[in-house]
A and B are shown apart, each in its own frame.
Chain A
Amino acid sequence: MRKMGFALSLFREYLANYIKTKLTYRADFWVEVFSDLMFSAMNLIFIFVVFTHTPALGDWTEAEVVFVYGYFMIPYGIFSTFMNLWNFSDRYITKGEMDRILTRPAGSLTQVMLENVDPPSLLGSLVGLGIMAAAWAKLGLPLHWYDPLVLIVMVLGSVLIYMGLYTALAAISFYSDAPTGIAPLMYNIQNYGRYPIQIYNKGIRFLLTWLLPFAFVGVYPASFFLDRHHDRVMAWLTPVMGVIFFALGLYVWNRGVKRYRGAGS
């Protein structure tokens, strides 16, 4: 707990530095925000275009699929804010910046996360919340007193799954010599968890549920709120899977750090 408090106080400092950096490059900041939003818009466009040709995906209606997408954007935005690790392999392993990280008295993963913190991504979470609310209204779903609380728990679970997975993926760079790491390859796979899991065959369903559990960052937790697709068991598995995968990610990371060789000789 004390560690958490320390990390949070560091977060404030790093955030301050982030803001100071960004203020020097204001134009880029807006390009980044804009492109982040475009990125989300693109995925929505796919959904809208597809539904001009079909009334339902599996037995999911357009509003339901949009609802899931809105949900997905919330944990994804939080995740992107704290785990902007796309160039981890190149910057920290190949160029050896991990050396510096390891000579400082704070958790190595904490430092790497904080050095790359990207607050504009949080905007995506807000947009997602808006989309979810709009779809909620359109579907005429009832709003229970506990729904906001459940949403927070689900989102936390989803964020933990994402973080755990990508921590493990980034940590692969400690073991392999891959120049880009394999995280970019996952780029498409994370999208599939947003669509009704029932449309896939067994193999892919198993993969998205247990191996690369992206379905827990989309369709499963969102189904808690959807009357027609209510799936209590899978929904409540979200926080559980979150804790498991996050622990797994940390384990792989810590083992990887021990294997770190440093750049050069």
Chain B
Amino acid sequence: MASAYLDFIRIRFLMMLAYRVNYYSGIVIYAINIGAYYFMWKAIYGSAETLGGFTVAQMTTYIAVSWMARAFYFNNLDREISNEIRDGSVAVQMTRPISYLMVKMMQGFGEGLFRLLLFMAPGMIVAILIFPVSLPTDPLRWAMFFVMIWFSFLINSQLNILTGLFAFFVENNEGLMRLKRVLIDLLSGVILPMTFFPGWARAILDWLPFQAITYLPGSVFTGRLSGGDAWNALLVQFVWFAALIVPIWLMWRAARKRLFVQGG
């Protein structure tokens, strides 16, 4: 059983390897993204020493690491799921003796793993060479970072699954998927760390799952959060992961019911 799931990871990993154009253009484009944001932030800082509690050096590291984390947690599960719902193949997949959503999760993980090893690792080396990125020396912090981006992956994939499952209930969830993508990029902290938002916005964002995706692991890695705060951040991630299981489960149940009653 478990080995079947592992196979889905392996197959997706190999599949990603098969698409060379995507791989090479992906590396170039990630480098451009990091570069563009680095210069933009340099301009934003101007002559200021610290903004939003970040020093310039911390900001640089934060940008690099949050893009790298994004490479790992990012996937198109929402699009895949809604396509499979619309062309009806989800019904076929449901007849298999394994959980459809788990399979999707595993495929997403295979994709993430591919990017982590073949994207993030070389990308990070390049980033360190070009930009003044400072890496933590404490092995515990490295360990924590990897645990945390694992949760980033889980939470982001859960949100993707939720968005994708909407295709069961509305004829066209294209707009919703676009909206989700923008929300995650803006509110998770990839392009703007949480501390930059005005106080009232932060109060709201603290209660949303987005910051758990990029901001929290990025903050732990750059040392903005340490000790008890870091553990607290991990706890927040875990709580979101657990909490998001509920709506997925409810939606999945409703979706199955709908599928059986209406025949897709």
Contact = CB atoms under 8 A, between A and B. Distances in A.
Interface stretch (B93-101, B178-186, B216-224): B178-186
A142 interface: no
A192 B29 CA distance: 12
Given A50-B44, A185-B26, A200-B40, 9 more contacts: A25-B170, A28-B171, A35-B179, A42-B186, A49-B192, A179-B19, A189-B36, A200-B35, A204-B39
Best-surrounded residue of B43, B44, B186 (most CB of chain A within 10 A): B43
A232 B138 CA distance: 53
A39 B178 contact: yes
Contacts of B29: 182, 185-186, 188-189
B171 to A, nearest CB: 4
B232 interface: no
Interface stretch (B46-54, B141-149, B252-260): B46-54
A186 B26 CA distance: 9
7 contacts: A28-B171, A32-B172, A38-B179, A42-B182, A53-B44, A185-B29, A200-B35
Given A36-B178, A39-B179, A178-B21, A204 B35 contact: yes
A133 B197 CA distance: 27
B25 A182 contact: yes
B251 interface: no
A31 B176 contact: yes
Given A42-B186, A178-B19, A178-B22, A199 B40 contact: yes
Contact of B51 (A53, A177, A196): A53
A40 to B, nearest CB: 9
B191 interface: yes
B127 to A, nearest CB: 14
Interface in A25-71: 25, 27-28, 31-36, 38-39, 42, 45-46, 49-50, 52-54, 56-58
B32 interface: yes
A243 to B, nearest CB: 25
Interface residues of B, number: 43
Given A52-B198, A53-B196, A57-B43, A28 B36 contact: no
Q: Say what secondary structure dominates the interface of chain B.
A: helix
Nearest to B48: A54
Interface of A: 24-25, 27-28, 31-36, 38-39, 42, 45-46, 49-50, 52-54, 56-58, 90, 172, 176-180, 182, 184-186, 188-189, 192, 195-196, 199-201, 203-204, 207
Interface of B: 18-22, 25-26, 29, 32-33, 35-36, 39-40, 42-46, 48, 51-52, 76, 83, 170-176, 178-179, 182-183, 185-186, 191-192, 196-198, 201
B94 to A, nearest CB: 22
A57 B46 CA distance: 8
A204 B178 CA distance: 27
Nearest to B42: A199
A95 to B, nearest CB: 9
Contacts, number: 117
Contacts of A182: 21-22, 25-26, 29
A177 B18 contact: yes
Contacts of B198: 49, 52
Enumerate the 9 nearest inter-chain pairs by beta-carbon distance, A residue then B residue, closest first.
Answer: A32-B175, A199-B43, A35-B175, A35-B179, A176-B21, A28-B172, A25-B171, A178-B22, A192-B36
Nearest to B30: A185
Contacts of A28: 170-173, 175
Contact of B22 (A38, A45, A180, A188): A180
A33 B172 CA distance: 12
Contact of A49 (B43, B172, B196): B196
Nearest to B52: A53
Nearest to B29: A185
A33 B170 CA distance: 15
Contacts of B191: 46
Contact of A35 (B42, B171, B176, B185): B176
B26 A39 contact: no
A203 B183 CA distance: 30
Contacts of A25: 170-172
